[in-house]
Chains A and B, each alone.
Chain A
Amino acid sequence: MAIKTTQFLNMGPQHPSTHGVFRMMLELDGERVVKCQPHLGYLHRGLEKLAEMRTYPQIISLTDRLHYANAFQNELTYCLAVESLLGIEVPKRAQYIRVMLAEMSRMQNHMIFFGALGMDLGALTPFFYSFKDRETILDFFEEIAGARLTFNYLRIGGLKEDLPEGILERIYAFTDQVPKIVDEYEELLSGNEIFLARMKGIGILSKELAINLGITGPILRSTGVAYDIRKVEPYSSYEDFTFSIPVGTCGDNFDRYKIRMKELRESNSIVRQAIERMPEGEICAKVPKIIKIDGEGYFRTETSVGEQGVYIIGKGEKSPYRIKFRSPAFVNLQMLQYVLPGGLVADVIATFSTVDICMGEVDR
């Protein structure tokens, strides 16, 4: 009789570091992972179905609920999709404000990433460092949109209202601080021996596998592919801004971490450029009172996680016939079953943390 030497470990859905209700079925040989099978769907709310019963402007508030740290970017994707189907030209000022907000939410998403990564590796302090700074950005959001996470601020054709007075100067003053803040983060973790030992050479994802799985965003770029939709298919005036795409070399955990730290700095420079060149003028285009769409179309943007897409099929009604959100984290999670086997339980947590997901977006 063969003796079974492996055991199954159900990691999640209730586990402190599965970032929500993600579940991994691990087959362990001692502490070494033999097989990993991810399970999803514990946070499925049927957002796509709900959208079919709402009018086009009402759906904006649903897109907020996809990813709590990316709400502005998700709103932007949806609004751009509807605008492109209706052929609406958004005023330049609104476009710039949208870019500024999208980049600010990218910054705070990467701050959460930094904090959560530290927490998952057993360091408590990074979490408090990054959440203190994220708080500043959330305060700006609250002042602009009236909410901290679910904004409902973008409108089809532009914005709900103009920015409050004097906020641009204060955001600009904050962006002066950001390089120092990121330096402080990097001092805390990037050079730490234990951190490097936990991150370097762990969870290596090859370029070919990443492309074959359809992985996008910072994870794809960490494997050395300079692919960013902001550059490939510029939207919302991204072509006006100068920024570089940070690219990794070997696609390990440390590259994925490093890319996000570099993106934090790049996003900061985009925010500064947007404020420096902020045009005056209208904030909302002329939009029909009742929006009806006949036809179908797909629009994609680069959120902090990867390629966020919205596919809309309209049949001339006030509500879409079918709407599909392509969430980047859902696709990115595929890499786990290829990358984790061979590692240890501790690596599972580290690698999973660098995928940077939000279950709300994965399960929709």
Chain B
Amino acid sequence: MLSLGSQFLVALGMLIGILIILLASMWLERKALAHFQFRLGPMRTGYHGLLQPIADAMKMVVKEMSVPEGVDVILYKTAPFIVFIPAFMVMAVIPFTATIKAADLNMGIFYVMAVLSISTIGYMMAGWSSHNKYSLLGCMRSIGQFVSYELPMGLSVLAVVMMAGTLNLNSIAQAQSCSWNIFRWYIFKQPLAFIIFFIALNAEICRVPFDLPEAESELVAGFHVEYSGMRFALLLMAEYVGLFTLTSICTTLFLGGWYGPPVLPGLVWFFLKTFSLIFILFWTRATLPRVRADQLMSLGWKVLMPAALINVVITGLLIMLKVY
């Protein structure tokens, strides 16, 4: 058990670390997307535009935070924090390696699912209080989307929890410990759960093809159409933090966390896996068009939900028959 002081230091280090990861993933996304599209992306600020996210952040900080007429001021001003803070709170339980982690909660994955749901309220507040029809449509879409994708996500996690016999993320990763035998990773034992989780994750962080709440070509910018300056930056950052936290949870649940062939240290394995997943998300963004709201719902309720339920039943049977 760490002392209170050292725990604080770990948390602080993590906070700074996540900010660096945030900026890095922003840069990576712009570069990856650019190269998918015969472009170079940012090139002028620093070596191959490395300082571009910092320049963007500086711009955001100095911009005026305008409050349009007719908004519900209290809700409008608090909403970005309610979106942003839960995204950061998830970071607390992610085990980067066996030792590098902020908190070792016994109900880790349960905590993650619970905290993630909070941000839905933030999206709703932002959309409702903005006094704008586009953001109202965007907020209605986001609520429908989050509610219908949290269920299959939870059920796919349940299958993993049943196999590991624990809710603790650290123990779930340890259950997949391996050296060269990477077939101990749950992605090979639970491929269906992985696919469902990955699709739901994509919907949860509102990325193409599930970026309906902010659908640029339809709703201009959806729920954050009226936000500017740092408040907008918070909403944007929440999205990128969500991108990293959810993919790292996916790594922990399905890709064996920090375990891998002993050629690289655990931390490197962890980031390698996480950023591979992030890259797949960038790739999807560059390839796919956006789905329509009703198609999104029918995919969630008619395909993912039954599939996740069947997966839970099959997992239960296999555990009962002592196959796993």
Contacts and interface: CB of A to CB of B under 8 A. Distances in A.
A123 B218 contact: no
A152 to B, nearest CB: 31
A189 B289 contact: yes
A347 B133 contact: no
Interface string B38-51: 11000000000000
A9 B133 contact: yes
21 contacts: A7-B133, A9-B133, A9-B137, A31-B140, A121-B290, A122-B216, A122-B217, A122-B289, A129-B37, A129-B38, A132-B38, A188-B287, A194-B288, A194-B291, A194-B295, A195-B289, A198-B289, A198-B290, A198-B295, A347-B292, A349-B217
B137 A192 contact: no
B291 A17 contact: no
B204 interface: no
Interface string A94-137: 00000000000000000000000011111111011100100000
A129 B36 CA distance: 10
Given A128-B37, A194-B288, A346-B292, A122 B133 contact: no
A194 B296 CA distance: 10
B211 interface: yes
Q: Kindly list the 7 A-B residue pairs having the minimum CB-CB distance in the complex, ordered from nearest.
A: A122-B290, A128-B37, A121-B289, A123-B289, A17-B217, A346-B292, A120-B217
Contacts of B37: 124-125, 127-129
Given A198-B289, A198-B291, A346-B293, A31 B137 contact: yes
Interface residues of B, number: 30
A192 B33 CA distance: 19
B285 interface: yes
B208 interface: yes
Contacts of A132: 38
Contacts, number: 85
B220 interface: yes
B209 A16 contact: no
A122 B209 contact: yes
Contacts of B192: none
A197 B216 CA distance: 19
Nearest to A17: B217
B225 to A, nearest CB: 11
Interface in A163-201: 188-189, 192, 194-195, 197-198
Interface string A317-329: 0000000000000
Contacts of B293: 31, 344, 346
A19 to B, nearest CB: 11
A129 B37 CA distance: 7
Nearest to A128: B37
Contacts of A348: 218
Contacts of B137: 9, 31, 345
A15 interface: yes
Contacts of B209: 122, 194
Nearest to B217: A17
B215 interface: yes
B292 A344 contact: yes
Most chain B beta carbons < 10 A, residue from A7, A122, A125, A194: A122
Nearest to A9: B133
Contacts of A7: 133
Given A122-B208, A194-B209, A346-B293, A15 B39 contact: no
Interface in B217-274: 217-220
B286 interface: yes
Nearest to B215: A122
A15 B219 CA distance: 9
A83 to B, nearest CB: 42
Contacts of B286: 124-125
